[in-house]
Amino acid sequence: MSGSNDQTLRAYDENVRAYVEGTAQAVSGPPQQWMDRALDGLSPAARIIELGSAFGRDAAYLASRHFAVECTDAAPGFVAELVARGFQARRFNVLTDAFDGAYDLILANAVLLHFDRAQFARVLEKARAALTPGGRLAFSLKSGEGEGWSSAKLGAPRYFCYWRAEQLAPLLREAGFADWSIVEARMNRAHADWIYVVATAPQPQCP
């Protein structure tokens, strides 16, 4: 799938308005419950980065919970949209860019599903290395088999890689995570089956 992510990013960048208009404007239901699990017990001073912030809906929810969020997106059009909406945002592509320091939470809602299986495994390892001890990676995927392209919603092709929940634990373990929760949920969307994951980095061992 060489170049699949570049083409997917181009679809987003050229269709920002279609994405905004076709996406729920508020966080609710299983995604909200997943974000609440990811935030549970975090310090108000926790360092949080969001990958693929889009138009800032999820960042706004975290802000309503009194957490500061570093907004990022790999599509320049979404960075511009975020800034226009009053968010501080920067361009960041987790496949090619380095994390800036250590984070208590890395949030990636409907982002890692655009990576092929090899890219996904590398991003898990990269994210794990960018977490503080006990830090968390929260991400969501579409449930299903195989991979493919879809022009739904944007009218431009986006690459998707589908997963089964049972496939994830071995990859999370291999990436170095100590613990994780994996919750499957049905959403009222065109593709209704989702997987919501919160994975925790290990704590230092007591001597």
In angstroms, the Cα distances linking 172 to 52, 89, 169, 200, 206 are: 21, 28, 5, 9, 23
C-alpha to C-alpha distances, 5 to 83, 140, 196, nearest whole angstrom: 23, 17, 22
- Give me the CATH number covering residue 46: 3.40.50.150
Q: What are phi and psi of 140, to 5 degrees?
A: -125, 150
Q: Is residue 106 part of a domain?
A: yes
Contacts of 65 (CB under 8 A, 6+ apart): 36, 39
Chain segment 133-180, per-residue pLDDT in tens: 999 999 999 999 999 999 999 999 999 999 999 999 999 999 999 999
> What tens digit of pLDDT does each residue of 44-99 get?
999 999 999 999 999 999 999 999 999 999 999 999 999 999 999 999 999 999 99
Where in the sequence is the domain holding 27, given as residue range(s)?
4-200
Question: Per the confidence metrics, is the pTM higher than 0.75?
Answer: yes
Pairwise CA distance, residues 147 & 126, whole Å: 22
Domain count, the chain: 1
Does residue 184 belong to any structural domain of this protein? yes
Answer whether residue 67 is part of any domain. yes
The answer to whether 105 and 46 have CB atoms below 8 angstroms apart is yes
Mean pLDDT value across residues 118-125? 98
* Cα Rg, the chain, nearest whole Å: 16
Single-letter amino acid, residue 2: S
Domain assignment present for 32: yes
